[in-house]
Structure 1
Amino acid sequence: MLEALLIFVLQIIYVPVLTLRTILLVKNQTKSAASAGLIEGIIYIISLGIVFKDLSNWMNIAAYVIGFSVGLLLGGFIEKKLALGYITYNVSLLERNDELVNSLRNAGFGVTVFVGEGMNSPRIRLDVVARRSREKEFIQIVQELAPKSFLVSFEIRSFKGGYMTKGMKKKG
């Protein structure tokens, strides 16, 4: 019983570390990802070693599987709270909305305005860059000032230059 509890606890540590390691790797933070991978490897070997020691012990197997599942939930929760990195939003509007543009800029978001050609009429597109941790704030401003806008988001792996670069990195 004690082994099953240990396996469960190790899994709810292991899987969030695995989640964060994957995110760090995707965001090109390889040194941090390697450190997380070291912790992940140690936990993985210990917990699987206990499980493989006695494959007839269904409690250990169940603890591993349930702990993995709970770890996924915890890892997702932690990732959302940390909101590492940056995001870019394309905001499509039917007409120019200077109030929205000014509100976003005053809130500290980087905004570039483009005029495009839609199927039936011209369109305005805003490219907005922000920290992922400010995504809810951004969406709230857009919903308030342009509720019929069409939003598409992209995760940014890296960027260089631009008006907002220094300010965004410092505001962390």
Structure 2
Amino acid sequence: MKDIILIIILQLIYVPMLALRTICMVKKLTLWTSIFGILESLIYVLGLSLVLTGEQTIVEMVVYAVGFGLGLIVGIQIENKIAIGYTSAVVNIRNKNQSLIDTLRAKGFGVTIFEGEGRESTRFRLDILTKRTKEKELLCLIQEYEPSAFIVFYEPTLFRGGYMSEMMKKRLH
């Protein structure tokens, strides 16, 4: 019983690290990728040695697999909480809602506005770059001012120049 509990605990530590390492690797966070990789491999070897040494019971193998699945869920939840990186929102609205634009800018969101032709009328597109930690706040503000807005989120891998870069430079000095 002790081995089963240890296996599940190790999987709940190991697999979230695997998920975070993968996310950091995709986001090109080299140092964090390396740190998570080292910790992940140490825990992996320990956990696997428990399963493969001695008598391998079906229960231990099933617990190992179930722990892996639960660990993925935990890893995704952790990443959603810490929200690594930035997000770019493209918001399409029917009218130029100056109250929304002013509110977003007052709250520190960089907003660029484009006017374009929709199928039935003129549309306005707001391009907004923000930290992922502020994504929910952004959605709430848009919902409050433009409940029928069409919104698409993207995760930029690189950006240079513009409002966000200036803000980051100011914080460094």
Q: What range describes the TM-score normalised by the shorter chain of this pair?
A: over 0.9
Partners of 1:62 and 1:148 in 2: CA distance: 47
Alignment of 1:152-163 (within 5 A): 152-163=152-163
TM superposition shift of 1:8 = 0.9
Alignment of 1:55-66 (within 5 A): 56-66=56-66
Deviation by residue 1:105-150 (Cα, 9 ceiling, x = unmatched)? 0000010000112112221000001110011110111001011110
Partner of 1:37: 37
Partners of 2:161 and 2:13 in 1: CA distance: 38
Deviation by residue 1:41-67 (Cα, 9 ceiling, x = unmatched)? 111122122212256412211221121
Partner of 1:75: 75
Partner of 2:19: 19
Does structure 2 conserve the Cα–Cα contact (< 8 Å) formed by 1:131 and 1:168? Answer: no
Does structure 2 conserve the Cα–Cα contact (< 8 Å) formed by 1:86 and 1:156? Answer: yes
Does structure 2 conserve the Cα–Cα contact (< 8 Å) formed by 1:112 and 1:127? Answer: yes
Partner of 1:108: 108
TM superposition shift of 1:158 = 2.1
Partner of 1:144: 144
Give the fraction of aligned pairs with identical amino acids, expressed as a percent: 42
Partners of 2:90 and 2:152 in 1: CA distance: 5
Partners of 1:132 and 1:164 in 2: CA distance: 13
Q: Secondary structure at the match of 2:155?
A: strand
* TM score, norm. by length of structure 2: 0.92
TM superposition shift of 1:164 = 2.6
* TM score, norm. by length of structure 1: 0.93
Structure 1 unmatched ranges of 5 or more: none
C-alpha RMSD of the superposition: 1.6
Partners of 1:40 and 1:55 in 2: CA distance: 24
Q: Secondary structure at the match of 2:159?
A: coil
Q: Secondary structure at the match of 1:51?
A: helix
Question: Which amino acid letter does the alignment assign opposite residue 46 of structure 2?
Answer: I
TM superposition shift of 1:97 = 0.9
How many pairs align?
171
